[in-house]
Amino acid sequence: MNEHYKVLNALRRDHDLAAELPSSSPDLYSWVGVYPLDLDKDKEWLCNKKVKISNTDKPIYCIRLFEAEKKLIDQDVWVCESDLKNKKDFVVQGEEALFAKLSELNIDPDKLEMPCKSNYPI
């Protein structure tokens, strides 16, 4: 896992990361976001998602996939939750589980960067 040092370093410092992905349609942009979660601050969100945390010694991450219409993004319109399409959230516990899920989703962890560098809209 040391091969993903930049990604791990950013996540361990509580930075969100994102990358643009191939979209399902020419009219859409697609992204992945990876968010380190704080059990104290994000407990209600985790409960709403019906996520049970078994071991609080491991970091918790949310991997979020979504798409948004190109016309909204290209016009620099403020994008809100209702504008997002094909949303999928995955919660994983531990760095190994994070990289396993990213691999399962065919996402190269080394493509993840600070959200402002990937035109991440949210």
User: Where are the domains positioned within the chain?
Assistant: 2-23+30-67+89-114
Least confident interval from 9-23, 42-56, 67-81, 105-119? 42-56
From the number of C-beta atoms within 10 Å of its C-beta (0-12, 13-18, 19+), residue 102 rates as buried
Asked if 105 and 65 count as a contact pair (C-beta separation under 8 A), the reply is yes
Q: What share of the chain is helix, strand, coil (3-state, %, to 5)?
A: 35, 30, 40
Mean pLDDT, range 80-88, rounded to an integer: 94
pTM for this structure?
0.89
